């Protein structure tokens, strides 16, 4: 099959990384795959080089720099005149249509709400089935009281959600949607050595290490991870405690400056290989209060590495931590009034793993066992089946 995968950007983020890993695996399985980056300027070239094989071509308005420049200028003029700034999107959709025709695309797999909205009318015009993957953004819109995106979802040949949580919410909000199913995210990990990771960070081999990998936005709960860690460390007796924070952003640079006096808190900055650092963790953290949280890849990566997690009861996270294999981590409730993590509960969960070796060992084993269902191979096979069903049941006009 000739497939175009559409993304909002090609940077660090759960939906973006899944889209690139999926593209690479579908190529490996014999499909011809292209990636369309809707925001050409939002691209991490090192990440793309690491995740995408050269045979998977990246398309974007960067292919037309002159047209892109003038389209942005006209957009700015439209804004100054108080009009709707739509010219750039129109040119982008025209180029998308050109790419779909030139590369004889048979199906579009879209992985962001903005990408969905851009692809939908073009897919309808050309009679190409559109498969939308909900990574949590639509659920965030529902929480905000929005329903204006319903026509985009209704135009899809099939809708995939990355968690049952997202599927339930969409079904409840829009009973008449096209075929809807959950396909869990798959990850690609590179085995790493725990002691090598610790040596690289100057962490003692006998330390107990909490760690966190996420996008560098405040809502992922970095500050709460730091505060809970400091509480546990203040009471600790025995193995030295460390906290490793893997991610990069101005927000994290500010947090690093605030924690400069505490040498047991290690900031790696943005890195191309988070798996290397996860290997050095004992416990993975994600005290997120991000409202678009659906099924965080970070927790799956902790599980693949055999690390139990401490994470908030947000989105699809309970589906990961309360698995059929048993508990793979400890859940932290949210403060109802503020929608932020309950800090005492977060602290208690971290303390429990530090103090109770039998609980830690049990949850670590469960995490490793449960992680087997989250391989990119399993994920891609389910996407293949969904694509075949979408192509077979699509009643769009003939592709021209």
Q: What is the pLDDT of residues 90-103, one digit of tens each?
A: 889 999 999 999 99
Say whether pLDDT at 356 is over 60: yes
User: Which helix H or strand E contains 93, and what residues bound it?
Assistant: helix 87-102
pTM as predicted? 0.88
DSSP-derived letter for residue 56 is S
| Residue 73 or 127, more confident | 127
Tokens of 391: 């192509």
> Long-range pairs for 313-322 at CB < 8 Å and ≥24 separation?
314/288, 314/289, 314/290, 315/136, 315/139, 315/163, 315/165, 315/166, 316/162, 316/163, 316/164, 316/165, 316/166, 317/286, 317/288, 317/293, 318/165, 319/163, 319/164, 319/165, 319/295, 320/295, 320/296, 320/370
> How confident is the model over 356-385, as a mean pLDDT?
96
User: Which helix H or strand E contains 121, and what residues bound it?
Assistant: helix 113-126
Asked if domains 2-185+376-395 and 194-371 share a fold, the reply is yes
Say whether pLDDT at 85 is over 70: no
> How confident is the model over 178-187, as a mean pLDDT?
94
Determine if residue 334 is left, alpha or beta; phi over 0 gives left, psi from -120 to 50 gives alpha, anything else beta: beta
In this prediction, residue 56 has a pLDDT band, given cuts at 50, 70 and 90, of: very high
CATH among 3.40.50.360, 3.40.50.2000, 3.30.420.40, 3.40.640.10 for 2-185+376-395: 3.40.50.2000
pLDDT digits (tens, 9 = 90+) for 305-353: 999 999 999 999 999 999 888 999 999 999 999 999 999 999 999 999 9
How confident is the model at residue 292, as a pLDDT?
86
CATH class label, 194-371: alpha beta
Distance in angstroms (rounded) separating the CA atoms of residues 385 and 395:
18
By CB atoms closer than 10 A (0-12, 13-18, 19+), residue 346 is buried
In this prediction, residue 145 has a pLDDT band, given cuts at 50, 70 and 90, of: very high
Q: Cβ distance 329 to 318 under 8 Å?
A: no
Tokens of 187: 């990850």
Say whether pLDDT at 237 is over 60: yes
Q: Cβ distance 129 to 108 under 8 Å?
A: yes
Q: Cβ distance 286 to 220 under 8 Å?
A: yes
pLDDT digits (tens, 9 = 90+) for 362-373: 999 999 999 999
- Residue spans per domain, the chain: 2-185+376-395, 194-371
In this prediction, residue 395 has a pLDDT band, given cuts at 50, 70 and 90, of: low
Say whether pLDDT at 149 is over 50: yes
How confident is the model at residue 144, as a pLDDT?
94
Tokens of 61: 């308005």
SS3 124: helix
How confident is the model at residue 90, as a pLDDT?
82
């Amino acid at each position: 099959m000739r497939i175009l995968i559409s993304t909002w950007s090609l940077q660090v983020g759960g939906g973006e990384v899944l889209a690139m890993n999926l593209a690479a695996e579908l190529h490996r399985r014999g499909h011809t795959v292209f990636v369309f980056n809707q925001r050409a300027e939002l691209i991490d070239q090192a990440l793309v080089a690491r995740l995408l094989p050269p045979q998977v071509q990246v398309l974007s308005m960067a292919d037309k720099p002159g047209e892109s420049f003038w389209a942005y200028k006209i957009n700015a003029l439209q804004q100054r005149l108080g009009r709707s700034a739509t010219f750039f999107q129109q040119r982008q959709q025209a180029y998308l249509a050109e790419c779909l025709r030139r590369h004889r695309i048979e199906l579009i797999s879209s992985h962001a709400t903005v990408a969905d909205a851009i692809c939908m009318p073009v897919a309808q015009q050309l009679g190409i089935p559109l498969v939308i993957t909900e990574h949590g953004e639509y659920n965030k819109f529902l929480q905000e009281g929005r329903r204006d995106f319903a026509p985009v979802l209704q135009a899809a040949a099939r809708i995939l959600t990355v968690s049952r949580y997202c599927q339930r919410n969409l079904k409840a909000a829009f009973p008449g949607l096209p075929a809807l199913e959950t396909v869990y995210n798959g990850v690609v990990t590179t085995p790493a050595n725990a002691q090598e990771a610790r040596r690289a960070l100057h962490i003692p081999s006998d330390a107990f290490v909490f760690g966190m990998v996420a996008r560098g936005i405040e809502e992922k709960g970095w500050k709460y991870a730091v505060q809970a860690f400091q509480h546990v460390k203040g009471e600790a007796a025995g193995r030295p405690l460390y906290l490793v924070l893997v991610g990069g952003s101005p927000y994290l640079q500010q947090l690093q400056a605030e924690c400069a006096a505490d040498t047991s808190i290690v900031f790696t900055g943005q890195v191309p290989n988070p798996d290397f650092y996860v290997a050095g963790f004992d416990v993975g953290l994600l005290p997120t209060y991000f409202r678009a949280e659906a099924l965080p890849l970070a927790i799956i990566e902790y599980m693949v590495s055999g690390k139990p997690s401490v994470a908030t009861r947000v989105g699809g996270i309970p589906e990961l931590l309360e698995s059929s294999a048993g508990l793979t981590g400890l859940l932290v409730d949210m403060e109802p009034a503020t929608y932020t993590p309950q800090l005492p509960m977060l602290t208690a969960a971290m303390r429990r793993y530090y103090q109770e070796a039998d609980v830690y060992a049990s949850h670590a084993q469960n995490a490793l066992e449960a992680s087997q269902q989250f391989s990119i191979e399993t994920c891609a096979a389910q996407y293949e089946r969904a694509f075949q069903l979408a192509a077979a049941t699509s009643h769009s006009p003939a592709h021209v």
